[in-house]
A and B are shown apart, each in its own frame.
Chain A
Amino acid sequence: DAGVIQSPRHEVTEMGQEVTLRCKPISGHNSLFWYRQTMMRGLELLIYFNNNVPIDDSGMPEDRFSAKMPNASFSTLKIQPSEPRDSAVYFCASSLQGAKGEAFFGQGTRLTVV
């Protein structure tokens, strides 16, 4: 298996632009997580899905952030409009529901908003 695949690996955008990050989880995994990593705040869970349904989005910082999982093999995290403080590395992870805490992470998308 290729593991969790995220795209793009790097994104540079101007403030106010829309940004869409993409994730393909490991086939057969039914839980998907979006994390954000910054020097100041460390790793923060933004949202997670079980069986394509959002379960907990309490970590989504603002209404500018939205996430979707239209099917078991694809998820997006959208920021609109983007701001410089959104600059971070965004990780997607997947796991088998029930395999408590055993998550497989993608390589991340480094987002820079200028």
Chain B
Amino acid sequence: GDSVTQMEGPVTLSEEACLTINCTYTATGYPSLFWYVQYPGEGLQLLLKATKADDKGSNKGFEATYRKETTSFHLEKGSVQVSDSAVYFCALATGTASKLTFGTGTRLQVTL
């Protein structure tokens, strides 16, 4: 079945540091890939997406590139802020269904 593997957290960074959260996937067919973010006490929000190989999704300074050859979709940001502290989920969807398969989430804490 479909699955998503994310790097274990928590990740603790100083403000303005570079961020990479690794994500790899296993899927039948050609999935669409997503990063969702969950701020404390809230539901998940879509951060960015990519629907085909070599697509780059970007939003709020975050980027991720759909790498079919390595089945990866790593999340990156060049300079994190305290306000980026949250849990980040990598996810995929296949076929025509809208249902998502999520990774376990990676907690990011950014300190001053």
Binding site for B on A (CB under 8 A): 4, 31, 33, 42-43, 45, 48, 55-56, 91, 93, 95-108
**Partner pick for B105 among A43, A99, A108, CB 8 A cutoff:** A43
Tell me the bound Cα distance from A100 to B93 in angstroms: 7
Tell me the bound Cα distance from A97 to B96 in angstroms: 8
Q: A4-B43, A43-B89, A108-B43 are in contact. Are A103 and B98 (CB under 8 A)?
A: yes
Query: B91: CB under 8 A from chain A?
Result: yes
Binding site for A on B (CB under 8 A): 32, 34, 41-46, 49, 51, 89, 91-93, 96-105
A71 to chain B, nearest CB (A): 19
Closest chain A residue to B41, Cβ basis: A107
Residues in B with CB closer than 8 Å to A101 are 32, 34, 49, 91-93, 98, 100
The 6 closest A-B pairs by CB, nearest first: A105-B43, A101-B93, A43-B102, A42-B104, A105-B44, A31-B98
B39 to chain A, nearest CB (A): 10
Interchain CB contact under 8 A, A99 and B98: yes
Residues in B with CB closer than 8 Å to A99 are 98
**Partner pick for A42 among B96, B100, B102, CB 8 A cutoff:** B102
Interchain CB contact under 8 A, B96 and A91: no
Closest chain A residue to B45, Cβ basis: A105
Interchain CB contact under 8 A, A107 and B34: no
Residue contacts A-B, CB under 8 angstroms, 6 given: A33-B98, A48-B98, A91-B43, A100-B98, A102-B46, A102-B49
Closest chain B residue to A105, Cβ basis: B43
**Partner pick for A100 among B45, B89, B97, B103, CB 8 A cutoff:** B97
Residues in B with CB closer than 8 Å to A108 are 42-43
Residues in B with CB closer than 8 Å to A97 are 98
Residues in A with CB closer than 8 Å to B34 are 101-102
A28 to chain B, nearest CB (A): 14
Interchain CB contact under 8 A, A48 and B44: no
Interchain CB contact under 8 A, A103 and B42: no
